[in-house]
Amino acid sequence: MKKLFSFFVGAICLVSHISFAQENNSMLWEVSGNGLQQPSYVQGTFHMMCAKDFQMKQKTIDALGKVKRLVLELNYTDPTEMAAVQKMMQSDQKLSEKLSADEATELNEVLKSYGVTLQAVNNYSPQALYSFIGQKATPCPQTEIKMYEIELLTLAAKSGKTFGGLEKVADQTDALGKSYDLKEIIRQLKAGDEYAILSESMIKAFNEENLIALDELLKDERFMNKEQEDLMLNKRNIDWVSKKMPAMMEKESVLFAVGGGHLLGKEGVLNLLKEKGYTIKPVR
């Protein structure tokens, strides 16, 4: 269950280019102007990877040192939110009750490739079931899994930073549930080996700060169609930039750390901030 919890958090944290980003690939961006007294930063993250692949750039550590607050998609320091993650993993209705007999048999066969059976996970929610994909995308023991946000939190705690979140667990699980129903999740689970290949390419792009390549990989239509992109990324980006990020930045300097898939696009965080009048600059 502990391992599934890690994969679940990574999964729900899950995911057209703009010219200034095409010319300035970076995972870290400075946000200034528009009345701000001090700059804030937006850091694109890769939620979960094996320790052998994990890197955190010195410039990110330096940016964290300059701000007063670290804000993630979720506030991992809030015990209420972490309890909500645990609760969302369970369902009152069994998975098998939502499927025909043939569909349940098919799911059981698919789950065998993940080392479990339908009977063992029958009380899981569809969102928790989706998190099994992380086992293919992160093929290492739990002790060797690194979560970028948790590493940032650890550094921030050592220097006395305060913490916040851009949304609640309920917001993320709602977006995931609307994007991927149970039958779609089964289809995605069947593509687990493709996810493993995709993950290798994404990690390479992330570590090389090739934001354009990472964005294209994250939005591969085999795994995320346009409707799912709108629900999982665009609508959440609009909510963050229109309602939450400006107020936080006006109050104090912030390092926002969000999944790399949220950065680019017409409705990506960077372009939305630019449209609101902020100056967006890549940090080298």
pLDDT of residue 139: 85
Structure token pair of residue 51: 């320790």
What the block records as the tokens of 112 is 């065998």
Q: Does the residue 191 lie in any domain?
A: yes
What three-state secondary structure class fits 259? strand
Using an 8 Å Cβ cutoff, are 264 and 21 in contact? yes
pLDDT of 11 strictly over 70 = no
Identify the pLDDT of residue 105: 96
How many domains does one find in the chain?
1
Segments forming the whole domain that contains residue 189: 2-90+125-282
Of 3-7, 21-25, 155-159, 228-232, which range is least confident?
3-7
Residue owning tokens 């009750």? 97
State the pLDDT at residue 16: 32
| Tokens representing residue 45 in the block | 């993250």
Mean pLDDT of 262-279: 96
Whether the per-residue pLDDT at 5 is higher than 50: the answer is: no
Tell me the C-alpha distance between 141 and 51, whole Å. 10
Is residue 262 domain-resident?
yes
Two tokens, residue 212: 């354009």
Per residue in 172-185, pLDDT tens?
989 988 999 999 99
The number of angstroms, rounded, from the C-alpha of 30 to the middle of its chain's C-alpha atoms is 20
Full DSSP string of 185-208: HHHHHHTHHHHHHHHHHHHHHHHT
Give pLDDT tens digits for 240-253.
999 899 999 999 99
Per-residue pLDDT band at 116 (split at 50, 70, 90): very high
Position 20 scores a pLDDT of: 47
**Whether the Cβ atoms of residue 97 and residue 147 lie closer than 8 Å to each other:** no
What are the φ and ψ backbone dihedral angles of 102, each rounded to 5 degrees? -65, -40
Inter-residue contact 42 to 270 (CB < 8 Å)? yes
User: What's the pLDDT score for residue 23?
Assistant: 57
pLDDT level of residue 136 (50, 70, 90 thresholds)? confident
CA atoms within 13 A on the CB side of 277: 6
Q: Give pLDDT, residue 8.
A: 47
The pLDDT, as a whole number, for residue 142 is: 84
Is 112 among the domain residues? no
Cβ-Cβ contacts under 8 Å for 105 (sequence gap 6 or more):
none
Q: How many CB atoms lie within 10 A of CB 141?
A: 10
Spatial strand order of the sheet with 162-165 comes to 162-165, 69-72, 254-259, 40-45, 28-32, 279-282
Average pLDDT over residues 129-135: 87
Q: Model confidence at 17, in pLDDT bands (50, 70, 90)?
A: very low
Decide: helix, strand or coil at residue 44: strand
Residue 276 falls within a domain, yes or no? Answer: yes
pLDDT tens per residue, range 73-98? 999 999 999 999 888 899 999 999 99
Within-domain flag for 95? no
Average pLDDT, the chain: 90
pLDDT at 19 over 50: no
> Residue 24: its pLDDT value, please?
64
Is residue 145 included in any domain, yes or no? yes
Q: Is 66 part of any domain? A: yes
What pLDDT is recorded for position 25? 86
DSSP 8-state assignment for residue 107: H
Instruction: Provide the token pair at 10.
Output: 């990574």
**Res 15: pLDDT:** 36
Question: Tens digit of pLDDT for each residue in 27-68?
Answer: 999 999 999 999 999 999 998 999 999 999 999 999 999 999
189 vs 134: CA distance, rounded Å:
10
Q: Is residue 221 included in any domain, yes or no?
A: yes
Closest CA to 170 of 47, 70, 268, 73: 73
Least confident stretch, 19-28, 91-100, 259-268: 19-28
